[in-house]
Chains A and B, each alone.
Chain A
C-alpha cells in the first residue's frame, strides 16, 4: 500500500460523498454546456462572473450554494440537480 492508498483509506466517508456530489454537479453543467455548444466563457457572461470563477466551480472542489446552482439552471434553461420525491403508500 503506497501513500496514495493510505490517504484514500483514511479519508472520511463524508469527504467522499461531498466530492462525489460536487463532481456530479460539475459534470452535469459541463455536459449541458457541451450539448448547447457553449463554453465556460458563455456561462460566465450569462451570470456576470469572471471566467476564472466558472473554471473554479467546474473543478468539483468548490461547494456551490444551492442559490448559485439555481442561477446556473436559469442561465442554461436546464435542470442541474433533481431531488428524489418521497414514495407514499398511494404511489
Chain B
C-alpha cells in the first residue's frame, strides 16, 4: 500500500526555509516526530541543543551551504545518482536526514541514533535513511519533469506536490 506524503513548512528563518515531510494520515510531520521523540532524553540533551541551535544559526545567519552538511557514503553508492542528494546532520551519534535543494530551501526528514558503524546495522535509523533517500530521488524526478519548482526560500507549488512511499 502506498502512503501519500505532503510537504509543509517546518521553520522559517531569514536565510532558509526548512520544510518537512508529512504522511497524510499522521498528525505530526517527520521532523516533529524526530524532535518530540528525543526531547526528554537526558543523554541526548546536549546533542539536541546543539542540533537545534545549528539549524537556527544556519537559517538565520549563514544559509544552508552544502559544506555544512555531511553525506552518508551509502547514499552515494545507491543508483541512480541523484543531482540533489540526501544529506545528513551528524551530532555525535545522532543523525537527522534532509534533502538540500539550495542554500535557501532544505527539507528535513527524520533520523535517530546510530548504534553501529554502518547505518545498515542500525535498524531504526536505516528506515529513516531509506525514506529520506527515496524522497530525494522522487524530488529529483519531479524537478526534472518540471513538476517541482522553488524560488528563493519558497517551494512554489507546495500544495500540488505528491510524494509516496
A residues at B contact (CB < 8 Å): 2-4, 6-8, 10-12, 15-16, 19-20, 23, 26-27, 30, 40, 55-56, 58-61
Contact A10 B90 (CB under 8 A): no
Enumerate 14 A-B pairs (CB-CB under 8 Å) in ascending A order: A2-B36, A7-B35, A7-B52, A12-B49, A15-B49, A15-B50, A19-B50, A23-B54, A23-B57, A23-B58, A26-B67, A58-B68, A60-B68, A61-B54
Distance in angstroms between the alpha carbons of A81 and B163 in the assembled complex: 44
Contact B32 A3 (CB under 8 A): yes
Q: Does B143 interact with chain A (Cβ within 8 Å)?
A: no
Q: Does B65 interact with chain A (Cβ within 8 Å)?
A: yes
> Does more than half of chain A's interface fall in helix, strand or loop, or is it mixed?
helix
A70 to chain B, nearest CB (A): 21
Distance in angstroms between the alpha carbons of A78 and B139 in the assembled complex: 39
Distance in angstroms between the alpha carbons of A30 and B66 in the assembled complex: 10
Distance in angstroms between the alpha carbons of A58 and B57 in the assembled complex: 14
Number of chain B residues whose Cβ lies closer than 8 Å to a Cβ of chain A: 28
Q: Which residues of A contact B68 (CB under 8 A)?
A: 23, 26, 30, 58-60
- Mark each residue of chain B from 49 to 65: 1 if its CB lies under 8 Å from any CB of chain A, else 0: 11011111110011001
Contact B57 A55 (CB under 8 A): no
Q: Does B130 interact with chain A (Cβ within 8 Å)?
A: no
**Selected contact of A16 from candidates B36, B46, B53, B62, CB within 8 Å:** B53
Contact B54 A7 (CB under 8 A): no
Closest to B31 in A: A4
Contact B52 A8 (CB under 8 A): yes
Distance in angstroms between the alpha carbons of A6 and B52 in the assembled complex: 10
Contact A61 B50 (CB under 8 A): yes
Distance in angstroms between the alpha carbons of A81 and B31 in the assembled complex: 35
A24 to chain B, nearest CB (A): 8
CB within 8 Å for A58 and B67 given contacts A2-B35, A3-B39, A7-B35? yes
